[in-house]
Amino acid sequence: MNTKPPAGFYSAEGDPPETVRYWNGNEWAGAPVANLNNSLLAYHKSDLASTGRRIGAGIIDHVLWNVFYTIVVFSNTHDMTPIGTNRVLLTERTDLAAVAIYATIGSILLTLMVAFWGATPGKLLTGIRIVNHDNMATRPGLLTAFRRSTIYLIGGVLVGSGPLIAIGHIVNSIVVATDDHNQSINDRIGKTRVVNKLAVDMKIQEIRRQT
């Protein structure tokens, strides 16, 4: 048996996000109004990081990652000198397992930065932050950060720097540029937004003033 909720303000199906409407106990009454409890936490389109900043942050991250990856590869490449019949043949061998391990560690560290700081190095340098889908005042947290970083974690395990991560950056840039809310594939997977740091700071200050 279905029971009707008591009278009060609730989110009504079909109404704009972050609004509530009065339920008199039997039916909806009046027009939707802003949900004052959540309005400070909700993002607005003007708060979103621009496509240019996001692409710039991605380029910085990719350059830094490739520097890290190159150092790892060179530090795990060793000379081998098998002895031939008349000469010594000099060859090189790269410890791919070690490279994959270091690349995975690097990917995990970046994911932890997203979880606790809300940013990768590129985003820190360009003044943008990753926040939860519906709450600008909170960082993603561990579960959301790992879910959001799925593509790069797989890339770290399989190919370290390689084509997969490079392609991921290119595809994400195209998706961000064509999406109404500037969301990348990672944002959709992790249910996150990328906003300007200044917007986040202003929201938090306003919340602190009202609490």
Domain containing 74 equals: 45-210
Tell me, yes or no, whether 56 and 152 share the same domain: yes
Identify the pLDDT of residue 211: 44
Residues 174 and 190 grouped into a single domain:
yes
Judging by beta carbons within 10 Å of its beta carbon (0-12, 13-18, 19+), is residue 93 exposed, middle or buried?
exposed
- Does one domain contain both 7 and 51? no
Say yes or no: 144 and 198 in one domain: yes
125 and 49 in a common domain: yes
| Same domain assignment for residues 27 and 50 | no
Write down the pTM of the prediction: 0.68
Please give the structure tokens belonging to residue 70.
């190159």
The series of mean pLDDT values per 10 residues for the chain, 211 residues long, is 62 78 78 61 79 89 84 75 54 69 82 89 94 78 86 61 67 85 87 88 67 44
Tell me how many domains the chain contains: 2
The answer on 156 and 135 residing in a single domain is yes
- Helices and strands, number each (H, E), in the chain: 8, 7
Q: How high is the pLDDT of residue 176?
A: 86
Say what the pLDDT of residue 1 is: 43
pLDDT of residue 172: 80
CB 38 within 8 A of CB 10: no
CA distance 160 to 146: 17
Tell which residue, 104, 144, 60, has the closest CA to residue 130: 144
14 with 75, same domain? no
Element (H, E) at 80: strand 77-80
How far is residue 111's CA from residue 128's CA, in Å, rounded to a whole number?
16
Strand-pair partners of 34? 19
Q: Do 61 and 35 fall into the same domain? A: no
Residues 3 and 67 both lie in one domain: no
Same structural domain, 50 and 25: no
- Which distant-in-sequence residues (6+ apart) come within 8 Å of 83 by Cβ? 89
Q: Taking a C-beta distance cutoff of 8 angstroms, is the pair 172, 184 a contact?
A: yes
